[in-house]
Structure 1
Amino acid sequence: MNVLVIGSGGREHALVKILNRSRHTENLYAVPGNSSMTKYAEVYGDMKETDTEGIVRLAQEKNITWAVIGPEAPLNNGLADSLEDAGVKVFGPRKLEAQLESSKAFAKKIMIKYGIPTAAYQSFTNLADAAAYIKQQGAPIVIKKDGLAAGKGVAVAMTEHEALEAVKEMLAEGENHPVVIEEFLEGEEFSLMVLVNGNYILPFDIVAQDHKRAYDGDTGPNTGGMGAYAPVTHIGQAVIDEAVHQIVKPMAEAMTKEGLDYFGVMYLGAIITEDGVKVIEFNARFGDPEAQVLLSLLDSDFIDVLEAVKNKEPFDLQFSSDSMLGVILASKGYPKEYKKGEKVSIPAELEDIVFNSGLKYLEDGNYETSGGRVLLVTGRGKSLDEAKTEAYNNTAQIKFDNEALFYRNDIGERGV
């Protein structure tokens, strides 16, 4: 069968690699893709992921059976709806269901209505009201932009001043979305990916742990993710079961009761609190960089997985017993302003274990940066310690100007 992947980052690079491994895949295409995907797929780099009409036309021309949508923007634009209308099987929720991620207020309302454990919150469009609420609640407190922000629209404010500054920035002139202000939850976080079709769910057997803050020791601003590892062996099966049965399954059922028909990944960002597992956020697509790690460990044929979920059939997901860890190299200044066009060199022997998030290929293993998060360098081993050592040894071999990129040195520290 012919398969199409939508997106251009490291997550989509991982999707292309695992779909290329499927015995069912005859021809593989990527829009817009990136230069690292050309080894596996025909890449349409001049087409935008938001060009719904162009993508539908391409899908029809190439007789696409399955389209897998990686990023949140085309989901929010209704690409899944249009592809489905054209007779393509799509892995990724339709526009209405994608509100689970695109509107934090929408997700919160459902969680509160159906008693799904999450932080207390209020939603505001008025700065004076938001400021009054912050002063009433005190800090620490969490401020979230209600809309797509590529994982960066969250401020964990440790002081009232930080909270007020975050609210001012998110409610700046021209913004049309409210701001959600949440209770600060304390505990250990983890990421659980669950494949959902209506009230049918197929949870991943292992969880990953992401590192959202920019700098070592979980300091600095929130980012789209600075590294991840899996499995998280110190988080036991009982916690995963609680997350599935108390949160994900009720959310899938709640969406159905609301007249919605969710089909795709339901990504749960969860936290283990004194009162049990609670929701930090839901996303409507695979996490990045968690996807690169988790999909690399998935031994099952991914097309078989998609078909089972589409048909609501039982399926036994098979994962490697290995551990895997990935380190993000990001442009200096990320997640704020940063320069593009910085030169990066990747040794040929590392190209298969590096995931391209924001690199443009030049020649002979040389690239230039084209984004904030540039690449994920991975390591794999029988233990997390082995995987971490290999990942950082590999990271040390990536050549760039001293000031061009930065990375955290403590990815996986909690799990080792």
Structure 2
Amino acid sequence: MKKVLIIGSGAREHALAQTFLRSEQVTTVIVAPGNDGMTDAGLECVTISATNLLGLRDLAISESVDLTFVGNEEPLTLGIVDIFEAAELPIFGPSKVAAQLEGSKSFTKNLLQKYAIPTAKSVTVETLEHATEILQAFGLPIVFKLDGLALGKGVTILTDPIVASTYLTDLYTKDPATKLVIEEYLEGVEFSIFSLVGKNGIVTHAPLAQDHKRRFDQNRGPNTGGMGAYSPVRWISDDIKNRAITELVEPAISALTKEGTPFAGVLYTGVMLTQEGPKVIEFNVRFGDPEAQVVLPQYSGDFYDLISQLMIGQTPTVRWQNTDVYVGVVLVAAGYPQAPVKGAVVPTVDAVTPLIINFAGVKNGVANGGRVATVVAHDISATLAQKSVYNKINLLDTSLEYRHDIAYQAVNHEEN
């Protein structure tokens, strides 16, 4: 029987662990470091940091792990795959160089421009003077992207010239060496494609997802790591999905191979459907959070088999459900994202049955971070799934906060 190691600590990693545990081959899933909310049978948490690459390698060796799956982006950009492969340990994820797709916005924009993959017009700047010049040239609204990792919160969209100028001044006052990607603002509909990429370019795609970044209902408030998501996105046609795959995803994978840095692992393509067609907003090199929580429960086959087949370059037999819509709502601590308040009581799985819940910032039964848990429900339509998830949340005894309109786009399309 098989043992799997998941690297990371959030709700995404909890969802990954649950998905692997559904395999009849998998008896144990170790999550490092995990969190105190992960109490599923067969799941073990080991308090090794996701950035302790050598410690994780040694853990995989000592525990005779059959497969390691990296949930978190930081160890990928630090080169954990290279370290595991040097030790001949099976691991699913991109190399350090290929992980620059997420680790460096400028690397990605240069790749997209070189291979003429549709994306927003952009310029990378490293001084306040250059940034101010590009701001004036591009006009408003305008998008600022910090070059490195920012835990999903490195993007700022501004519409006021004074606010934009102040943003740049503050940024370069704090760090004159800041590397910033400035992009034109794209109008359109946003959605996410998750592609599982194996050896020799073998690739398969998960159902589309759409997440909700803004903190409050009606997309108000600051950007967050994600307040909820739903999948599949039925109102995006198969033609649009296939066009995004053939014009954006496949050319990016091919481009990396041509650059001598072939990609393997999870490729997350953030897509904006504009009047000119689909364009790349960003690439990530792992499952999104909270998208993973609504995508992974849809896999009805053996996920261990799927990943194992991809890793040896074998075309897998994939089994995604096609009857229901899954809606996930993120429960957060008061004050999130600016100053989350710790200590709120976290609801238990037994409180509502049946309940799909994935835990994130939990320690000793209370909230220990910003995003604390994701509650997921599914039904034959987005309207019914949305009602179901909020009915379940209403039964939970918790002071944690959440948005009340997750999946509103899909519901609107069903009602109109």
Give TM class, smaller chain: over 0.9
Q: What pairs with 1:160-175 in structure 2 (closer than 5 Å)?
A: 160-174=161-175
Instruction: State the AA in 2 paired with 1:412.
Output: A
Report if the CA contact (8 A) 2:38-2:45 is conserved: no
Distance 1:326 1:27 in 2: 26
Distance 1:93 1:110 in 2: 16
Q: How many Å apart are 1:144 and its aligned residue?
A: 0.5
Is the partner of 1:60 in helix, strand or coil? helix
Q: How many Å apart are 1:344 and its aligned residue?
A: 2.9
Distance 2:199 2:26 in 1: 26
Report if the CA contact (8 A) 2:199-2:311 is conserved: no
Q: What pairs with 1:94-173 in structure 2 (closer than 5 Å)?
A: 94-173=95-174
Question: Quick one: structure 1 residues 202 and 338, their matched pair in 2 at CA, closer, same or farther if it must change by over 3 Å?
Answer: same
**Is 2:372 aligned against 1:354?**
no
Instruction: State the AA in 2 paired with 1:204.
Output: H
Q: For residue 339 of structure 1, what is the aligned residue in structure 2?
A: 341
Q: How many Å apart are 1:300 and its aligned residue?
A: 1.8
Instruction: State the AA in 1 paired with 2:238.
Output: Q
Report if the CA contact (8 A) 1:80-1:92 is conserved: yes
Q: What pairs with 1:4-43 in structure 2 (closer than 5 Å)?
A: 4-43=5-44
Deviations 1:297-319 (A, max 9, x none): 11121111112211222223211
Distance 1:112 1:138 in 2: 21
Q: For residue 414 of structure 1, what is the aligned residue in structure 2?
A: 409
Report if the CA contact (8 A) 1:344-1:398 is conserved: no
Distance 1:177 1:313 in 2: 43
Identity of aligned residues (%): 39
Q: How many Å apart are 1:260 and its aligned residue?
A: 0.1
Deviations 1:191-217 (A, max 9, x none): 110011366242325201111111111
Q: CA RMSD in A?
A: 1.7
Q: Count how many residue pairs are aligned between Structure 1 and Structure 2.
A: 408
Q: How many Å apart are 1:345 and its aligned residue?
A: 3.1
Is the partner of 1:400 in helix, strand or coil? coil
Question: Quick one: structure 1 residues 22 and 378, their matched pair in 2 at CA, closer, same or farther if it must change by over 3 Å?
Answer: same
Instruction: State the AA in 2 paired with 1:129.
Output: H
Instruction: State the AA in 2 paired with 1:102.
Output: G
Instruction: State the AA in 2 paired with 1:225.
Output: G
Is the partner of 1:296 in helix, strand or coil? helix
Instruction: State the AA in 1 paired with 2:217.
Output: D
Q: For residue 385 of structure 2, what is the aligned residue in structure 1?
A: 387
Q: How many Å apart are 1:58 and its aligned residue?
A: 0.8
* 70-79 vs 341-350, greater mean Cα deviation: 341-350
Distance 1:174 1:208 in 2: 36
Question: Quick one: structure 1 residues 207 and 175, their matched pair in 2 at CA, closer, same or farther if it must change by over 3 Å?
Answer: farther
Where does the alignment leave 5 or more consecutive residues of structure 1 unmatched? none
Report if the CA contact (8 A) 2:298-2:320 is conserved: yes
Question: Quick one: structure 1 residues 25 and 176, their matched pair in 2 at CA, closer, same or farther if it must change by over 3 Å?
Answer: farther
Q: What pairs with 1:247-286 in structure 2 (closer than 5 Å)?
A: 247-286=248-287
Question: Quick one: structure 1 residues 262 and 280, their matched pair in 2 at CA, closer, same or farther if it must change by over 3 Å?
Answer: same
Is the partner of 1:162 in helix, strand or coil? helix
Report if the CA contact (8 A) 2:127-2:177 is conserved: no
Q: For residue 193 of structure 1, what is the aligned residue in structure 2?
A: 194
Distance 2:206 2:101 in 1: 23
Distance 2:299 2:203 in 1: 14
Instruction: State the AA in 2 paired with 1:288.
Output: D
Report if the CA contact (8 A) 2:29-2:43 is conserved: yes
Q: For residue 301 of structure 2, what is the aligned residue in structure 1?
A: 300
Question: Quick one: structure 1 residues 40 and 82, their matched pair in 2 at CA, closer, same or farther if it must change by over 3 Å?
Answer: farther
What TM-score does the superposition give when structure 2 sets the normalisation length? 0.94
Question: Quick one: structure 1 residues 171 and 395, their matched pair in 2 at CA, closer, same or farther if it must change by over 3 Å?
Answer: farther
* 246-255 vs 388-397, greater mean Cα deviation: 388-397
Distance 1:71 1:411 in 2: 24
Distance 2:41 2:155 in 1: 35
Deviations 1:114-144 (A, max 9, x none): 0100000011111122122112221101111
Report if the CA contact (8 A) 2:342-2:369 is conserved: yes
Distance 1:261 1:189 in 2: 27
Report if the CA contact (8 A) 1:188-1:273 is conserved: yes
Distance 1:183 1:171 in 2: 20
Question: Quick one: structure 1 residues 9 and 201, their matched pair in 2 at CA, closer, same or farther if it must change by over 3 Å?
Answer: same
Deviations 1:19-55 (A, max 9, x none): 1111221332110012232324453443111111111
Report if the CA contact (8 A) 2:206-2:295 is conserved: no
Distance 1:84 1:119 in 2: 35
Report if the CA contact (8 A) 2:34-2:47 is conserved: no
Instruction: State the AA in 2 paired with 1:338.
Output: P
Q: How many Å apart are 1:224 and its aligned residue?
A: 1.0
Deviations 1:354-394 (A, max 9, x none): 1112122x4xxxx3111111111111111111110011111
Distance 1:306 1:347 in 2: 28
What TM-score does the superposition give when structure 1 sets the normalisation length? 0.94
Q: How many Å apart are 1:56 and its aligned residue?
A: 0.8
Q: For residue 203 of structure 1, what is the aligned residue in structure 2?
A: 204
